[in-house]
Amino acid sequence: MVHGKKLAKETLLPSVLEDDDAETESEKLQLGEQIEGQTEFNVRGPKDQCSSPDRNTKDRGERQDEEKVEEEEIEQEKRGGEEHKEEAYDPTGQTCYMEACKKYQVVPASYFLRHMQNSELSMMHRGLGPQGTKALAVPLVTNTSILRLNLRDNWMEEMGGAAIAEMLKENCYITEVDLSDNKLGDYGAKAIAGMLKENSTLVNLNLSGNHFTDKSAEYLGPALMTNTKLQHLDLSYNALGKSAGQNLGDSLSENTGLRSLSLAWNCIRGRGAVMLANGLGGNIYLRTVDLSFNGFSKEGAIALGQALKENSVLEELNVSNNRIPPEGAIRLAMGLRVNKTIKSLNMGKNPIQDAGCYGILKSVQENPDSAMETLDFGDIIVNQDFEDLYTAVKEIFPGLTVNYGGRFGIFRKAKA
């Protein structure tokens, strides 16, 4: 039995071995073909790979799809970068203005949004208030379009004025600013003075009607000594008094920038008027000065006469309505005898009477180098002697124009 099993095993073994060998040989052949194919693929290289109609068409399509995806990703990155850049920098300033309005809880001014890229921005009587002014100042810090800014009568008060002053420290494009009638007060004057010490582009500044007192002059005086770029300054309709005249007088004697100055409708009188006049005598740059509606009186007029002797650049002087008596006018006229630059003098609404008018006109007649073109004696009645002198002076200076309130004899005839 055992022998039979052994015989059967020996009988079956060759066939099994043959089958196994056959399978093994088949696997070897297939493996050899794969290796041979791979070797052939590698040897042929990319150029020959493309010639394969099935495999390589698929590869090319996959590569094109991958390249397309990569391009789309690059485009998205570019767009994302541009969007981020736009968010980071807003050249118009509208975004930061809207954010500032939200911060200060004010309604955005549509007029400002429409005109913030103009060269001139005029926003008078808009009622901005302190908070609205603060919001407005934020985009103006980096604005490069606006050159002339008019914010008159907006009730910006002290804090609003301080915000505009801080903005003007940074903005180097604005050359003209009107902040009149905004109730800036002494605190606002202090902020403006600080700005004038740093700003080097502002040429024209209107600070009229802002409740400035002598304290304001203490701040503005030193600033005018430092600033050399500001050419036109309006401080009219304030409450500048005696010490203000002294502070401003000291600064004017050293200022080298101003060409015109208005101190009309203030309270400068007494020693302040004298000190201010002395400062004008030492200034060699001012061309136009308006001192109307103050209280220069006799002492101030005498000091102005001395200033006209020393000053060789002033062309226009307005001292109307300053309570100047006849003697003060005659002493002022002594300066006109030697002055060679004054073209316009306004002495109207002063109680100088016909004697004062006559003395001033006589001084012009006696100065062969006089540049006088206009004398204004508005609301002052003169006599026949003055008119005769005027006729004689016209022969020497045919271009001279004299305005006066009338002549005594005319009223008598009209009454008759």
Asked whether the predicted pLDDT for residue 321 surpasses 80, the reply is yes
Q: Are residues 205 and 311 in the same domain?
A: yes
Domain residues for 235? 99-415
Which pLDDT value is given to residue 256? 94
Reported as type and span, the H/E element at residue 139 is helix 129-140
Q: How far apart are CA 97 and CA 307, in angstroms?
A: 50
Q: 51-55, 204-208, 286-290, 385-389: which has the minimum mean pLDDT?
A: 51-55
CB 140 within 8 A of CB 172: no
Do both 2 and 141 map to the same domain? no
Q: Is residue 49 part of a domain?
A: no
Lowest mean pLDDT among 35-39, 84-88, 163-167: 35-39
Task: Tell me the pLDDT of the chain averaged across its residues.
Answer: 85
5 has a pLDDT exceeding 50: no
137 and 217 housed in the same domain: yes
Mean pLDDT of the 92-119 span:
95
For the chain, the helix, strand and coil percentages under 3-state DSSP, each to the nearest 5: 55, 10, 35
73 domain-assigned: no
| Average pLDDT for 44-63 | 46
Do 349 and 277 lie in one domain? The reply is yes
33 lies in the same domain as 161 = no
- Do 6 and 142 lie in one domain? The reply is no
Q: Is residue 66 part of a domain?
A: no
Q: Are residues 298 and 386 in the same domain?
A: yes
Average pLDDT over residues 146-152: 98
Pair (40, 131) in one structural domain: no
Residue 69 lies in a domain: no
What's 334's domain CATH number?
A: 3.80.10.10
Do 320 and 384 share a structural domain? yes
Whether the per-residue pLDDT at 31 is higher than 90: the answer is no
Residue 403: inside a domain:
yes
pLDDT tens digits, one per residue of 260-276: 999 999 999 999 999 99
How high is the pLDDT of residue 412? 45
Residue 324 has pLDDT above 50, yes or no: yes
Confidence check: pLDDT of 108 > 90 = yes
Q: Identify the pLDDT of residue 416.
A: 40
The predicted pLDDT at position 18 comes to 42
Position 64 scores a pLDDT of 59
CB 158 within 8 A of CB 184: yes
In a domain, 90, yes or no: no
Is 247 found in the same domain as 340? yes
Whether pLDDT at 408 is above 50:
yes
Query: How high is the pLDDT of residue 118?
Result: 96
pLDDT above 70: residue 133: yes
Q: Is residue 49 over pLDDT 70?
A: no
Whole-number Å distance between alpha carbons of 293 and 320: 6
Section 283-291 average pLDDT = 97
Contact by Cβ (8 Å): 149, 177: yes
Q: What is the pLDDT of residue 409?
A: 58
Determine, yes or no, domain membership for 84.
no
Q: Computed from CA positions of residues 48, 54, 59, 61, in that sequence, does the dihedral angle turn out positive or negative?
A: positive
Q: Would the pLDDT of 138 be above 60? A: yes
Q: Which of 33-42, 100-109, 112-121, 356-365 has the lowest mean pLDDT?
A: 33-42
Shortest CA distance to 190 belongs to which of 169, 217, 208?
217
| Average pLDDT score over residue span 12-38 | 44
Q: How many domains does the chain have?
A: 2
Domain shared by 151 and 24, yes or no: no
Whether residue 231 is contained in a domain is answered as: yes
Are residues 8 and 153 part of one domain? no
Band of residue 406 on the pLDDT scale cut at 50, 70, 90: confident
